Chains A and B, each alone.
Chain A
Amino acid sequence: KVDAERKKTFVLKMPMELTQSRIQKIWLPNDNRPALPRRSCGPQLANSPTVIVMVGLPARGKTYISKKLTRYLNWIGVPTKVFNVGEYRREAVKHYSSYDFFRPDNEEAMKVRKQCAMAALRDVKLYLTEEAGQIAVFDATNTTRERRGMILNFAKENGFKVFFIESVCNDPTVVATNVMEVKLSSPDYRDCNSTDAMEDFMKRINCYQASYQPLDPDDYDRELSLIKVIDVGRRFLVNRVQDHIQSRIVYYLMNIHVQPRTIYLCRHGESEFNLMGKIGGDSGLSNRGKKFALALSKFVEEQNLKDLKVWTSQLKRTIQTAEALQLPYEQWKALNEIDAGVCEEMTYEEIREQHPEEFALRDQDKYYYRYPSGESYQDLVQRLEPVIMELERQENVLVICHQAVMRCLLAYFLDKSADEMPYLKCPLHTVLKLTPVAYGCRVESISLNIEAVNTHRERPEEAKKGPNPLMRRNSVTPLASPEPTKKPRINSFEEHVAVSSALPGCVPQEVPTQMPGQ
């Protein structure tokens, strides 16, 4: 009734006056009515906060899935954080002695473990209710109905939705590989040799086996929202998907795989417009750009890859570059460079002269800034999401694209925030080689030693750091996955490696910053 009354009042008053926000170019009503909840950019992805609860024996990929999913959700703009109970345990119990800690009859340890789970849940609540978090990933074994029941009660008390992700795998080879990839280098085993570590860990897994109650969507768990991932993605069981974000999560999980592969990212060769300092447009390659294309062809051949897919945009310069490879390639319009709208084909000097306010605004907030009649980095992320999804499905891929586009893709792989994304270094004539390793991505920067202009503009001194928190609300804002509340004391994955075929006089090595968040 109140709504009907309010509706009637609005029908009568009706100024419909709008103002366009200066940075994002979003039309908003310019009177100060009590704000009707208004979404600026795309569908409202989730209403109540969601707790994602991982389920599974040790070494089933729960942490791998947690981190990867969190990275994806943050990139598409859904604030997400992982809460790994193992890390809380490592904080509480400074030194791990052996699998005995995990024996079901070890009452002292059981107490500690339960306390750690509770501490993690407290932090989940804080994150979702006071820190603007939208999704919390509760990463622990959660193998008993009792534990899951406790979590469900916790969620109910706080008005959170719950979505379970169970990883089931009985293939001993897969389990052994997981243990080698990520467990042997865990802080728990820093004083052990590999054989001892492996033996201890297998006994640790055994501790959970007897009490493991897998999710049972046919009967006991039929009311729960869940996905069961079986045998590393061969098979999935999905029950009661409640909303849009859960549907996206399911789709993502069904598209990722763990096959070793490499993703190569590079820009087109130097273009005629690059030489003139003009942005955008659809120019062809300069002479040096053509040289790069040939060098790229040689590089690709030397990599000796099985079944390389090559993707380009629909702009001439990336296609010309691909042509030199003499391999089949696919053109994606979604990979086109950011549309600079009225500033297309201008130099930065011309923009500064003719659109001084726009020029300043862009430096103020480069991620959200939308060119008049053009796009923003934020728009780019939305248009690139299908590319990311298909990259996840694929194996070896070379993506020949553009500066802003490459920054967006790189931010996804390296877990970079919206704030950092527009300033990632993606120089011409340099290939970034990304290899999945442990929980993240190894990146190698390879310059092909062909001179080119430098198109990178550093963040200006006076530009504020960090996106305006008011603007972050309800928008597609990639965040880097937040630091876990309890940090492991030793990194459990490799640092990035920078490789260059250094020769005197080559373009200075610009190595993108490091590894994904913990």
Chain B
Amino acid sequence: SPARELTQNPLQKTWEPYDNGLPAGHSAQRGVCMTNCPTLIVMVGLPARGKTYISKKLTRYLNWIGVPTKEFNVGQYRRDLVKKYKSFEFFLPDNEEGLKIRRQCALAALNDVRQYLSEENGHVAVFDATNTTRERRETIYKFGEENGYKTFFVESVCVDPEVIAANIVQVKLGSPDYVDCSNDEATEDFMKRIECYKNSYETLDETLDKDLSYIKIMDVGRSYLVNRVMDHIQSRIVYYLMNIHVTPRSIYLCRHGESELNLKGRIGGDPGLSVRGKEFAKSLAQFINEQNIKDLKVWTSQMKRTIQTAEALGVPYEQWKVLNEIDAGVCEEMTYEEIQENYPLEFALRDQDKYRYRYPKGESYEDLVQRLEPVIMELERQENVLVICHQAVMRCLLAYFLDKPAEQLPYLKCPLHTVLKLTPVAYG
């Protein structure tokens, strides 16, 4: 049979086969479709071991790289069912009533997982609960098998009392459970809560659990045990988990100073700084000095305007080509008026779906995210960093840190001569 005709999708500029005028199968876009069957990530660990922290962060990362992911926190289901939390006694292992409710909540959450993965086009579900017994994990694993999901366990093991105390202060004291308690009362109750789980805790075992796919994170990332990684997405998850850390630090994002082309209302190109842009660079130097940042790394793109800006700081900086501004292809160095005049269809399409819209012979925001992923990974590894970049690039990075979805990303406000200072706090 003759080869099918290819047509270029006007929005994304991708070539797709058509069969009798209808888009045909047989072709997938790498980068978005990374999973074949859905994946169920199951958190494991005593309370205050960072399970929810990891769940939320991992979910944010996976969504940003284009893998539809959602977390299901069983504690949240419990709070919705049991309107008022009284005390740790709810979690006593012999509290029949409590056990019944908790089991109900787990099942309700799993039901929602099933709906998300099988009916709502979710790719990954993160099941955030203690899941500390083998029995509970077997139930979940069977659930996964029945529904055709791959199951991947993420266990956080930590015995350092300082870390646990810090976790409690960071995220437990402010929990809805303890809204009417003093800090001391809350801490005392929470410690007793943890005790309730200890006796029945069965850590993932080298022999008993040898056929499961999992990562065991020990002491907040000092060491890891990785067992039977099954596919690409699990491999990416492991890599991500091994690169994140919890050391306090700040990330500064800003654009280059105003450029000559900015002044003329033209997009793209590789112009130098305007007079005001140079003033900004000087101010930025002063600002950085005043911030008194320990071991600040400075990153720029390979475009003149970011490098000129960095030069004013008088400190070493690294140039990353992947931080270059979005490539506007045939529209490079045009004004928006000129684009509207010369490429009215393109102009309209961009407003229709700004995230997926790819400039002819250029890039889309979606492309940007893919090329920026190594930057995000390295930002996770680093501590204090100043990234001097560009509008579209900054929007992508910001969307990652602030968990903004694709629809909002291209409209995030990133004005010139403004620095965004990001500091990790609690779960965000």
Which A positions have Cβ atoms within 8 angstroms of B?
4, 6-11, 14, 16, 18, 20, 25-27, 29, 36-44, 217, 234-241, 244, 247, 250-251, 254-255, 282, 284, 290, 293, 311, 314-316, 319-320, 323-324, 326-334, 344, 373, 379, 382-383, 390, 393
Q: How many A-B residue pairs have CB under 8 A?
A: 175
Closest to B377 in A: A247
Provide the bound-state CA to CA distance between A30 and B378, in Å: 29
Q: Report whether B224 and A238 are in contact in the complex, using a CB–CB cutoff of 8 Å.
A: yes
- The minimal Cβ–Cβ distance linking B177 to chain A, given in whole angstroms, is 35
Chain A residues whose CB sits within 8 angstroms of the CB of B322 once the complex forms: 42, 382
- The minimal Cβ–Cβ distance linking A314 to chain B, given in whole angstroms, is 6
Chain A residues whose CB sits within 8 angstroms of the CB of B26 once the complex forms: 323, 326-329
Chain B residues whose CB sits within 8 angstroms of the CB of A254 once the complex forms: 226, 229, 235, 238-239
The answer to the question of B370 belonging to the interface, with a C-beta cut-off of 8 Å to chain A, is yes
**Residues 302-330 of chain B, each 1 if its beta carbon lies under 8 Å from chain A, else 0:** 11100110011111111111100000000
Q: Report whether B242 and A247 are in contact in the complex, using a CB–CB cutoff of 8 Å.
A: yes
- The minimal Cβ–Cβ distance linking B47 to chain A, given in whole angstroms, is 24
Contacts A/B (CB < 8 Å), 14 sampled = A14-B282, A20-B304, A38-B319, A235-B225, A236-B224, A236-B227, A237-B223, A247-B242, A290-B3, A327-B26, A330-B28, A330-B29, A330-B33, A334-B30
The answer to the question of B243 belonging to the interface, with a C-beta cut-off of 8 Å to chain A, is yes
Q: Report whether B318 and A11 are in contact in the complex, using a CB–CB cutoff of 8 Å.
A: no
Q: Report whether B319 and A41 are in contact in the complex, using a CB–CB cutoff of 8 Å.
A: yes
Chain B residues whose CB sits within 8 angstroms of the CB of A334 once the complex forms: 30, 370
The answer to the question of B84 belonging to the interface, with a C-beta cut-off of 8 Å to chain A, is no
Q: Report whether A320 and B311 are in contact in the complex, using a CB–CB cutoff of 8 Å.
A: no
Q: Is the interface of A mostly helix, strand, loop or mixed?
A: mixed
Q: For chain B, residues 211 to 239, give those with C-beta under 8 angstroms from any C-beta of chain A.
A: 222-229, 232, 235, 238-239
The answer to the question of B115 belonging to the interface, with a C-beta cut-off of 8 Å to chain A, is no
The answer to the question of B189 belonging to the interface, with a C-beta cut-off of 8 Å to chain A, is no
- The minimal Cβ–Cβ distance linking A220 to chain B, given in whole angstroms, is 14
Q: Is the interface of B mostly helix, strand, loop or mixed?
A: mixed
Provide the bound-state CA to CA distance between A238 and B232, in Å: 19
Cβ contact of B232, chosen from A37, A38, A236, A393, cutoff 8 A: A393
Chain A residues whose CB sits within 8 angstroms of the CB of B321 once the complex forms: 41-42, 379, 382
Which B positions have Cβ atoms within 8 angstroms of A?
1, 3-4, 6, 8, 14-15, 17, 25-31, 33, 222-229, 232, 235, 238-239, 242-243, 270, 272-273, 278, 281-282, 285-286, 289, 302-304, 307-308, 311-322, 332, 361, 367, 370-371, 378, 381
Chain A residues whose CB sits within 8 angstroms of the CB of B242 once the complex forms: 238, 241, 247, 250-251
A26-B302, A39-B319, A240-B223 known; 8 other A-B pairs, CB under 8 Å?
Answer: A10-B312, A29-B311, A42-B318, A236-B226, A237-B226, A320-B3, A331-B30, A390-B232
Cβ contact of B27, chosen from A26, A44, A331, cutoff 8 A: A331
Chain B residues whose CB sits within 8 angstroms of the CB of A247 once the complex forms: 239, 242-243, 381
Q: Report whether A234 and B312 are in contact in the complex, using a CB–CB cutoff of 8 Å.
A: no
Provide the bound-state CA to CA distance between A332 and B302, in Å: 24
Cβ contact of B318, chosen from A16, A29, A43, A250, cutoff 8 A: A43
